[in-house]
């Protein structure tokens, strides 16, 4: 097993399209949330009277690395203002959350676990010792309260107990104190072991439970990877076992599991919550670093390049709570929603459709992803996810210029002050791999780089579009890490209003997406390769997608789902309804209304 260490914002910076994407995020909702959203602007965490639990820590968990990756001084000052206010309110005994002493036993300490993770990120970005000292005092206090039975794990804290290990592992790395292992042991003994709950994942329960909650599930994938060392246990690849069950009974074409908002089966018209998208990405990043197993990196790419952009608008000012694979409309349901436990607006693009957790949490997706571009072990550097980035360490500067995943060409510029080894992970789907024009056949490219010599390495490969089998005889289309969907033309309807003291006002208002074209097709065939049209400043543009793929389609009779006029049936009829036609498929993440799973036109 190859184990890798992560870099921080001090060493890694985004370039190219990834920097453009992060800049959009900084101009978008995440970069402005402290100005527009009462639960962050007036939070109890900073002395206000609004939300006193997960929302500020969730938001900072993305906002802080975003500020440091972009080197944005104003954002850094905002991050510091929030962190200062939180640290100023830490109690003498170490308790750090905005909750009175007499209310601690009833307070769900998921917030203790989460703020410790967020402040660890702040410490890693800034090197400010007072931040990690505060984490140490908060965790020591958490240990004492749990040990003495003054608090215990229940609800979210019980189901997300492993999240505290992001901070605990960092504390242990800095100083090996016995109480850290004691706390780890207590958390594991009071927390949920999902392996004992997996039988609940085999069919949708149609009820809300913590054990099938999609965000818990997404977080849980990293449980063993982040806890086994401190617990002194061997790594047994629990994530693979659980991921196999989840994929078999709840998998989607873009590497997610359905969850609206608990596990919902295999249907392409069930949704997945945006929090689960970014949490699954973070889990996959840590799983890959812990194990070096390339399947985690490939799953990470699939989720990041498809599911994340799909659920967020081009300007990153609005987002969906639930995204669907076959999503023919995003319109408020007049009656019962198609979702199992989510509300009738959960698929609208808005400020806080359904519930505000994703509003606060979705910001961690791109910044944490940007921080997994390169990893290291000793003098060996790993190019883990080939996105445009520059790595600067004392030993070397490595600049990766690429338009991947839209084009399969990677150019590394290396300036090594000391001899080093560079390993490049080659995706399993790469064909006709070549290095500096020479054909190669490895799944991992290894370069020994001498010191003091500037070097350029050019890697190219090809990818072939292919159909992927989905349940009920349907098929989706993949080419490399991109899933291609049939885009459905639409018009938007904007809604400005105020609810529960929260203003939805342009540009942070709600949008319904209303289809203006057909969606009922079957696959006849695929073009040989995607056409690259060039990147704009909006990498996953819903108006000018950087890449498209031609497909031959044939209209097929396809009803609406029983009882709905804005949801397609789970599967089509068999009668054809017209002539074959060629249409351009778009990347799933660019097609806001789309059909992803279609039947084959030919009987097989
Ligand atoms: Zn959420």
Q: What is the pLDDT of residues 391-447, one digit of tens each?
A: 999 999 999 999 999 999 999 999 999 999 999 999 999 999 999 999 999 999 999
Query: What separation in Å is there between the alpha carbon of 312 and the centre of ligand 1?
Result: 13
Compute the mean pLDDT over every residue in the chain, rounded to the nearest whole number: 97
Query: What separation in Å is there between the alpha carbon of 57 and the centre of ligand 1?
Result: 14
Query: What separation in Å is there between the alpha carbon of 408 and the centre of ligand 1?
Result: 33
Query: What separation in Å is there between the alpha carbon of 361 and the centre of ligand 1?
Result: 7
Tokens encoding 213: 């909650």
- Which domains are assigned to the chain? 5-374 (1.50.10.10), 466-595 (no CATH)
Q: What share of the chain is helix, strand, coil (3-state, %, to 5)?
A: 35, 25, 40
Query: What separation in Å is there between the alpha carbon of 169 and the centre of ligand 1?
Result: 26
Strand-pair partners of 369: none
Query: What separation in Å is there between the alpha carbon of 275 and the centre of ligand 1?
Result: 4
Query: What separation in Å is there between the alpha carbon of 368 and the centre of ligand 1?
Result: 17
Query: What separation in Å is there between the alpha carbon of 191 and the centre of ligand 1?
Result: 21
Residue 311's nearest CA partner among 250, 354, 370 is 354
Tokens encoding 32: 């402005």
- Is residue 453 predicted with pLDDT exceeding 90? no
Q: What per-residue confidence (pLDDT) applies to 602?
A: 66
- Is residue 603 predicted with pLDDT exceeding 60? no
The pLDDT of 158-166, averaged and rounded, is 98
Q: What per-residue confidence (pLDDT) applies to 575?
A: 84
Query: What separation in Å is there between the alpha carbon of 466 and the centre of ligand 1?
Result: 32
**Percent with pLDDT over 70 in the chain:** 100
**Percent with pLDDT over 90 in the chain:** 97
Query: What separation in Å is there between the alpha carbon of 593 and the centre of ligand 1?
Result: 21
Q: From CA 81, how far away is CA 207, in angstroms rounded? A: 41
User: 452: pLDDT confidence band, cut at 50, 70 and 90?
Assistant: confident
Q: Where do we find the tokens 């249907």?
A: 267
Query: What separation in Å is there between the alpha carbon of 16 and the centre of ligand 1?
Result: 29
Query: What separation in Å is there between the alpha carbon of 454 and the centre of ligand 1?
Result: 46
User: 2: pLDDT confidence band, cut at 50, 70 and 90?
Assistant: confident
Q: From CA 308, how far away is CA 493, in angstroms rounded? A: 23
Query: What separation in Å is there between the alpha carbon of 321 and the centre of ligand 1?
Result: 6
Residue-wise pLDDT tens digits, 189-212 = 999 999 999 999 999 998 999 999
Query: What separation in Å is there between the alpha carbon of 566 and the centre of ligand 1?
Result: 23
Query: What separation in Å is there between the alpha carbon of 353 and the centre of ligand 1?
Result: 10
Residue-wise pLDDT tens digits, 105-137 = 999 999 999 999 999 999 999 999 999 999 999
**Paired sense of beta strands 521-526 and 510-515, if any:** unpaired
- Is residue 163 predicted with pLDDT exceeding 90? yes
Residue-wise pLDDT tens digits, 133-154 = 999 999 999 999 999 999 999 9
Query: What separation in Å is there between the alpha carbon of 492 and the centre of ligand 1?
Result: 23
Query: What separation in Å is there between the alpha carbon of 320 and the centre of ligand 1?
Result: 9
Q: From CA 142, how far away is CA 144, in angstroms rounded? A: 6
Query: What separation in Å is there between the alpha carbon of 214 and the centre of ligand 1?
Result: 9
Query: What separation in Å is there between the alpha carbon of 313 and the centre of ligand 1?
Result: 16
Query: What separation in Å is there between the alpha carbon of 306 and the centre of ligand 1?
Result: 18
Q: From CA 236, how far away is CA 250, in angstroms rounded? A: 23
Query: What separation in Å is there between the alpha carbon of 340 and the centre of ligand 1?
Result: 15
Q: What per-residue confidence (pLDDT) applies to 158?
A: 98
Query: What separation in Å is there between the alpha carbon of 527 and the centre of ligand 1?
Result: 37
User: 604: pLDDT confidence band, cut at 50, 70 and 90?
Assistant: very low
Query: What separation in Å is there between the alpha carbon of 579 and the centre of ligand 1?
Result: 42
Q: What per-residue confidence (pLDDT) applies to 206?
A: 86
**Paired sense of beta strands 438-439 and 475-479, if any:** unpaired
Query: What separation in Å is there between the alpha carbon of 233 and the centre of ligand 1?
Result: 32
Residue-wise pLDDT tens digits, 211-225 = 999 999 999 999 999
Query: What separation in Å is there between the alpha carbon of 558 and the centre of ligand 1?
Result: 32
User: 577: pLDDT confidence band, cut at 50, 70 and 90?
Assistant: confident
Query: What separation in Å is there between the alpha carbon of 58 and the centre of ligand 1?
Result: 10
DSSP state letters, 64-95: HHHHHHHT-HHHHHHHHHHHHHHHHT--TTS-
Is-above-0.75 flag for pTM? yes
Residue-wise pLDDT tens digits, 323-340 = 999 999 999 999 999 999
Confirm if 325 and 268 have CB atoms less than 8 A apart.
yes
Q: From CA 530, how far away is CA 545, in angstroms rounded? A: 11
Phi, psi dihedrals of residue 97, rounded to the nearest 5°: -90, 155
Query: What separation in Å is there between the alpha carbon of 274 and the centre of ligand 1?
Result: 6
Residue-wise pLDDT tens digits, 74-98 = 999 999 999 999 999 999 999 999 9
């Amino acid at each position: 097993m190859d184990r890798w260490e992560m870099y921080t914002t001090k060493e890694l910076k985004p370039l190219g399209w990834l920097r453009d994407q992060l800049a959009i995020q900084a101009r978008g909702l995440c970069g402005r949330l402290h100005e527009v959203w009462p639960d962050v602007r007036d939070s109890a965490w900073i002395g206000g009277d609004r939300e006193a639990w997960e929302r500020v820590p969730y938001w900072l968990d993305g906002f802080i690395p975003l500020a440091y990756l972009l080197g944005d001084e104003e954002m850094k000052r905002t991050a510091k203002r929030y962190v200062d206010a939180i640290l100023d309110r830490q109690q003498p005994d170490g308790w750090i959350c905005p909750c009175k002493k007499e209310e601690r036993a009833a307070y769900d300490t998921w917030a203790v676990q989460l703020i410790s993770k967020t402040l660890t990120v702040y410490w890693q970005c800034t090197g400010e010792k007072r931040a990690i000292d505060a984490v140490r005092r908060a965790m020591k206090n958490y240990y004492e309260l749990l040990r003495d039975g003054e608090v215990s794990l229940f609800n979210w804290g019980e189901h997300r107990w492993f999240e505290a290990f992001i901070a605990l592992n960092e504390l242990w790395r800095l100083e090996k104190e016995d109480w850290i292992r004691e706390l780890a042991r207590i958390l594991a003994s009071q927390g949920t072991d999902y392996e004992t709950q997996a039988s609940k994942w085999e069919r949708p329960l149609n009820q809300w439970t913590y054990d099938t909650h999609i965000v818990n599930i997404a977080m849980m994938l990293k449980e063993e990877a982040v806890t086994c060392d401190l617990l002194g246990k061997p790594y047994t690849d629990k994530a693979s076992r659980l991921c196999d069950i989840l994929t078999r009974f709840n998998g989607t074409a873009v590497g997610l599991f359905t969850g609206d908002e608990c596990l919902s089966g295999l249907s392409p018209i069930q949704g997945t919550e945006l929090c689960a998208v970014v949490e699954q990405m973070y889990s996959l990043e840590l799983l890959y670093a812990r194990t070096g197993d390339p399947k985690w990196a490939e799953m990470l790419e699939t989720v990041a390049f498809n599911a994340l952009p799909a659920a967020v608008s081009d300007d990153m000012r609005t987002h969906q709570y639930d995204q669907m694979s076959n999503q023919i409309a995003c319109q408020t349901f007049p009656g019962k929603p198609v979702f199992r436990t989510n509300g009738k607006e959960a698929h609208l693009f808005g400020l806080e459709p359904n519930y505000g957790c994703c509003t606060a949490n979705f910001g961690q997706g791109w910044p944490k992803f940007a921080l997994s571009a390169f990893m290291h072990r000793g003098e060996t550097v790993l190019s883990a996810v080939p996105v445009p980035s520059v790595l600067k360490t004392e030993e070397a500067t490595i600049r990766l210029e690429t338009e991947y995943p839209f084009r399969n060409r990677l150019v590394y510029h290396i300036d090594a002050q000391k001899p080093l080894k560079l390993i490049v992970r080659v995706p399993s789907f790469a064909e006709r791999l070549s290095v500096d024009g020479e054909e190669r056949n490895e799944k991992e490219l290894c370069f020994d780089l001498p010191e003091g010599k500037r070097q350029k390495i050019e890697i190219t490969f090809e990818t072939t579009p292919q159909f992927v089998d989905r349940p009920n005889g349907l098929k989706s289309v993949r080419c490399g890490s991109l899933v291609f969907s049939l885009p459905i033309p639409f018009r938007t309807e904007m809604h400005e209003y105020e609810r529960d003291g929260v203003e939805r006002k342009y540009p942070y208002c709600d949008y319904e997406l209303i289809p203006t074209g057909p969606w009922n097709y079957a696959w006849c065939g695929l073009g040989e390769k995607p056409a690259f049209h060039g990147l704009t400043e909006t990498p996953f543009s819903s108006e000018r997608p950087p890449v498209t793929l031609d497909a031959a389609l044939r209209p097929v009779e396809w009803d609406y789902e029983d009882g709905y006029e804005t949801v397609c049936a789970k599967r089509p009829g068999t009668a054809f309804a017209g002539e074959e036609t060629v249409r351009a498929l778009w990347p799933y993440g660019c097609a806001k209304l789309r059909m992803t799973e279609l039947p084959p036109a030919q009987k097989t």
